[in-house]
Amino acid sequence: MKRLTIEEALSFLPAIEQGNGVAISMFKGKPAKTKTKVIYIAGTADQITANNGLLILPSDNKKLGYNNFDKGNTFNVGRNLEVIGMRFRFDVTVGAGVTPLTAKWNDAAPVAFLNGDLQITQDGTSGYLFDGPIGPFVKTGTAITTLDEFLPIIPFMFRETSPINIQALLAIAGTATHAWKVEFLCLEYTAADQA
């Protein structure tokens, strides 16, 4: 992702001063606190197969290292996230015991993901928010900075309270011990009077 120039960073000062340290912008015609957030989901390849490709389920709970959705596959009332970038990360360490909590996230993508697709829908919208290959969003063995691993996308919105369906269509069956993590770079909009 592109880094801000000094001039661009300074252009945010009026909005930050208005928000008492947090940028204020207009969202749905009302003042909203605007923050950068990274929303993530992590697991192992065998979980994808067991869940018919779904990366997060309505029954999942927010769990450090596994996902930071508010509840299941939804976000709380008043929390809307504009997705502006995305990346996948992997740990394919050989041997038992690799989990999202112990993964180092520095390996190239396994073939199952590299040649697979990702589809994202949300209840109440028509069509896909995102539908495309996973390959452009992964490391393929080249050393690049963490900042540059996020690939900018045409923005879409994770809307409050509506279930989000994120499905990985793997090219071949994934290796059970391969840990994966998908991260969404977002702008979070919350009511100006909300924490």
Concatenated DSSP letters of 51-82:
TTTBSS-TT---BTTTB--SBTTB--TTEEEE
Examine residue 90 and state whether it is found in any structural domain, yes or no: yes
Q: Are 91 and 118 in contact (CB under 8 A)?
A: no
Handedness of CA 113, 164, 151, 23 (dihedral sign): negative
The residues, any chain, with a CB within 8 Å of residue 191's CB and separated by 6 or more, are: 30, 32, 33, 78
Examine residue 9 and state whether it is found in any structural domain, yes or no: no
pLDDT for res 125: 81
Length of the chain equals 195
Per the structure, the count of domains in the chain is 1
Give all strands of the β-sheet with 117-122 in edge-to-edge order: 130-133, 117-122, 164-169
Q: Are 81 and 34 in contact (CB under 8 A)?
A: no
Examine residue 17 and state whether it is found in any structural domain, yes or no: no
CATH of the domain at 84: 2.60.120
Examine residue 6 and state whether it is found in any structural domain, yes or no: no
Let me know the angle formed at the C-alpha of 54 by 51 and 55, rounded to the nearest 5 degrees.
Answer: 110
Examine residue 55 and state whether it is found in any structural domain, yes or no: yes
User: pLDDT truncated to tens, each residue of the chain (195 aa)?
Assistant: 566 566 766 566 666 666 666 777 778 878 788 889 999 999 998 889 889 999 999 999 999 999 999 999 999 999 999 999 999 999 888 766 788 998 888 888 888 999 999 999 999 887 899 999 998 888 776 545 555 678 889 999 999 999 999 999 999 887 788 899 999 999 999 887 765
pLDDT for res 195: 56
Range of the domain at 96: 33-191
Examine residue 179 and state whether it is found in any structural domain, yes or no: yes
Distance from C-alpha of 176 to C-alpha of 159, rounded to nearest angstrom: 32
pLDDT for res 79: 92
Examine residue 178 and state whether it is found in any structural domain, yes or no: yes
Residue 171, φ and ψ in degrees, nearest 5: -70, -40
Examine residue 23 and state whether it is found in any structural domain, yes or no: no
